[in-house]
Structure 1
Amino acid sequence: MKQPADAEAVYIQLGALLAVTPNLSAVDDRHQIPDETLRWLGDVSATVARLGSISDKAELDAAISMLISTGGRAQYAQKIKLVLYRCLTLAQQRAPATAQGTFVATGADFDAFAALHRIFEEAKKSILLVDPYMDESALLTFAILAKEGVSIGLLSDESGMRPALEPAAKAWISQYGDKRHLKVRKAPRRSLHDRLILVDEDKAWILTQSLKDFAARSPATIQRTDPQLALMKFEAYTQIWNSSTVVAETI
């Protein structure tokens, strides 16, 4: 079996595609598969080809052909999903440990928790969470995963930040003080366009959904950026942070 040139890239790409799976049984007014679905099918076929599994590629392409010829029959839509999830598992097994857990299936709460726990454990100095729709779960479920002594920053949008975050932050500060230094700020309305975890100023992960309902209703991905993009994200969000309103802060 041919090995892919970059197992991590294949794993991330498959996860990202599965996170935006269209309704494969939906048809347009001509009872044909819509163009956007055809583009998605082409992308998944090309990605599976990179995985190097000839049998999976053949099975996938056969199911795609039948889906198109039958106008979205459900049995072929299910077959496509089955092959893709099998390929995702294979790609995960081949990918390095640092990449595993990037794709989180719907309702897989523990997988989401474990993947984020690995990220938070990497932090030695600081973590900055960026999420336009942040609520108290950012503290209660995730920030608590960081080691003592790691400074936590939470940056949300003034129109999207949930009301319970502020009292949760003040209770955190009251209990932990300098042991778990915390700063919470709200950015100007509609100035945040990412959901990010920035670690130690030089590592970044992009999340496809907000932490408060991560993978609750649809698959989600956690994608680590390359070092150059991580630095760019840190610099951009440091500027936004500096112009944002303080909500709560360890003195």
Structure 2
Amino acid sequence: MKISTDLAATDRRGMLAQLDPEQWDRLRALCSDIRNIPPRTTISVAGEPLDHSLLLLDGIAVRYVGSGPSHRQMVALQVAYDFIDLHALPLQRLDHDVATLTSATLAVFPHDALQRLVTEDKELALRLWRMTLIDAAIHRQWTYRVGGLRALAGMAHFFCELDYRLVSSGRGGEDGYRLPLTQLDLGDIVGISEVHVNRTLRQLREAGLCTFQNGFLQIHDRPGLSRTGHFDASYLYGGDAVP
């Protein structure tokens, strides 16, 4: 009963806006469990067989490639209402680790039930596929940010993307959002050293664009931050959500 109550109260925000109400009703009926996971906890390890996919209901999760503290690289960040491993449905395993960054609430969807649903409902299958394609578009921008932008623009681009995604999922605010990342995490995301992160954050603050302090990003000038980061939200396909 608790499961259906929790999911029934879940708005179609963020990635779930790609589904119409009837599709979401059919999908949420397949949830077999809801799990609460502590922060900085590994959820799945690269190569292990997976028989379910997870929908993030609250918190932040991340994906890592590589192993060990000196060889592990963050390659993606997931927010509320993202499926963090829907691509495991056809692949049956992942090529990366998945972990929580904060405390997280996850809805579990068994693969056998999902497989039956997508076989019976082609339109819903296309919608789920679309969600994985948007996820892939976010990955491409991550690569662009690390390889194609200088530190200041890359940091601004990341902050703008996360602002857009958190607002879409109902987790952002007019003034900014909670961001429990260390400077080492931000260096991973932008592809710069921890020392360079500190200098870049100072530049953004002194330019009057944003301030990152005590795990909260306060945004002072959204248009200016977007210009600095060369940010174009079209790759997030937010305007194409189902009414």
**TM-score bracket, shorter-length normalisation:** under 0.3
- Between Structure 1 and Structure 2, the one with more strand by share is 2
TM-score (norm 2): 0.25
TM-score (norm 1): 0.24
Larger Rg: 1
